[in-house]
Amino acid sequence: MEDIFGNLAIGFIEVFKLQAITLGGMTMTLPFNIIMCLIGVLLGTLIGVLPGIGPVATIAMLLPVTFNLAPIAALIMLAGIYYGAQYGGSTTAILINLPGESSSVVTCLDGYQMARQGRAGPALATAAIASFFAGCVSTLVVALFAPPLAEVALKFGPAEYFSLMVLGLVAAVVLAHGSLIKAIAMVILGLLLGLVGTDVNSGVLRFAFGISELADGIGFVTVAMGMFGICEIIANLEQKEHREVFTTKVGRLMPTKEDFKRMIAPILRGTVLGSALGILPGGGALLASFGAYTFEKKISVNSAQFGKGAIEGVAAPEAANNAGAQTSFIPLLTLGIPSNPVMALMIGAMMIQGIAPGPQVMTERPQLFWGMIASMWVGNLMLIVLNLPLIGMWIKLLTVPYRILYPSILLFMAIGVFSISNQPFDCFLMACFGLLGYVCVKLGCEPAPLILGFILGPLMEENLRRAMLLSRGDPFVFISPSKPISMGFLLASFVLLVIIALPALRKKREQAFQAEDQSHRS
Assign 198 to helix, strand or coil. Answer: strand
Q: What is the DSSP string of 414-453?
A: HHHHHHHH--HHHHHHHHHHHHHHHHHHHTT--SHHHHHH
Its domain, for residue 127, covers 2-239+251-521
- The answer to whether residue 244 sits within a structural domain is no
- The answer to whether residue 366 sits within a structural domain is yes
Gap between the Cα atoms of 476 and 483, Å rounded: 10
Ordered per-residue pLDDT tens for the chain, 522 residues: 557 778 888 888 888 888 877 766 677 788 888 888 888 888 888 877 776 666 777 787 777 778 788 888 888 888 888 877 777 777 777 877 766 666 677 888 888 888 888 788 888 888 888 888 988 888 888 888 888 877 777 778 888 888 888 887 887 676 566 677 888 888 889 889 988 888 877 778 888 888 888 888 888 778 877 887 788 778 777 766 555 555 555 666 778 888 888 889 999 999 998 888 777 655 566 677 877 888 888 888 877 888 888 888 888 988 888 888 888 888 888 877 777 777 878 888 888 888 877 778 877 888 888 888 888 888 888 888 777 777 777 777 767 776 777 787 788 778 777 877 778 888 899 899 999 989 988 888 878 788 878 878 888 888 888 888 888 888 888 888 888 888 888 898 888 788 777 766 556 545 555 555 565 555
| Per-residue DSSP letter, 280 | S
Residues contacting 99, CB < 8 A, separation 6+: 51, 89, 92, 93, 105, 107, 108
Gap between the Cα atoms of 312 and 320, Å rounded: 12
- The answer to whether residue 246 sits within a structural domain is no
Gap between the Cα atoms of 389 and 354, Å rounded: 39
- The answer to whether residue 29 sits within a structural domain is yes
- The answer to whether residue 352 sits within a structural domain is yes
Q: pTM for the whole thing?
A: 0.73
**Total number of domains constituting the chain:** 1
